[in-house]
A = this chain, B = another copy of it.
Amino acid sequence: MSKKRDDIIDTTSDLLERQGYFATGLNQIVEESGAPKGSLYYYFPGGKDEICEEAIRRSGASLEKSIDRAMSEADTAAEGIAALVEGISRAMEASNFGAGGPLTTVATETAGQNERLNNACEEIYESWRATFERYIRKDGIDSIRAERLSTLVLATMEGAIILSRTYKSTEPLQRAGAELRELLEFAR
């Protein structure tokens, strides 16, 4: 992997996270990554959408690893969610609520009008959901319920992160996480 290519993707990921898809232009990516404009087109002949797709896929894979780590180290899905909520809360505070994953903004901005990025968002969400489902099933919960619960967990985490970013407080995430934990404990 080329370092220049990596820098371009990481810079784009940061920009998408802070401000979203529409506000992020190629010129800003060039400026902030320090990569010459020619190298952008060399590495990404598909232009902005190709760079954005790579950026959300990379950060999606990285968050999936964090989910997997938190869930695999815990004894139950409920405890795994609690650890994940703690980890995300700390990351949000450390970034002064600038962080929260680039996916949400890109997903809401492009849902109806950019098939390439919409498909990428759907694949990433579905992959996160399947990870939650795998660990919920380990608790002995049947597959139909585990599918429902994993959808609830993913939706709640998404929404709670938006609320926490908006309120500039981890409280929404903490409160929603406490209820998720209770529900997952009870479902076993």
A149 within 8 A of B: yes
Q: Which residues of B contact A159 (CB under 8 A)?
A: 154-160, 162
Can you list, as one digit per residue, whether each of A154-173 has a CB less than 8 Å from chain B (1) or not (0)?
11111110110111000110
Whether B162 lies near A158 (C-beta < 8 A) is yes
Q: Which of A111, A125, A167, A175 has the most chain B CB atoms closer than 10 A to its own CB?
A: A111
CB distance from A183 to the nearest CB of B (A): 5
A73 within 8 A of B: no
A127 within 8 A of B: no
Q: Given B18, B105, B149, B176, which contacts A152 in the complex, CB threshold below 8 Å?
A: B176
Whether B112 lies near A165 (C-beta < 8 A) is yes
Q: Given B18, B22, B125, which contacts A112 in the complex, CB threshold below 8 Å?
A: B18
Give the docked Cα–Cα distance between A19 and B165 (Å): 20
A107 within 8 A of B: yes
Interface size class of A (residues with CB under 8 A): 35 or more
Q: Which residues of B contact A100 (CB under 8 A)?
A: 108, 111
Can you list, as one digit per residue, whether each of A86-105 has a CB less than 8 Å from chain B (1) or not (0)?
00000000001110100011
Q: Which residues of B contact A148 (CB under 8 A)?
A: 175-176, 178-179
A42 within 8 A of B: no
Give the docked Cα–Cα distance between A172 and B175 (Å): 22
CB distance from A30 to the nearest CB of B (A): 19
Whether A166 lies near B109 (C-beta < 8 A) is no
CB distance from A22 to the nearest CB of B (A): 4
Whether A151 lies near B166 (C-beta < 8 A) is no
Give the docked Cα–Cα distance between A48 and B172 (Å): 29
A1 within 8 A of B: no
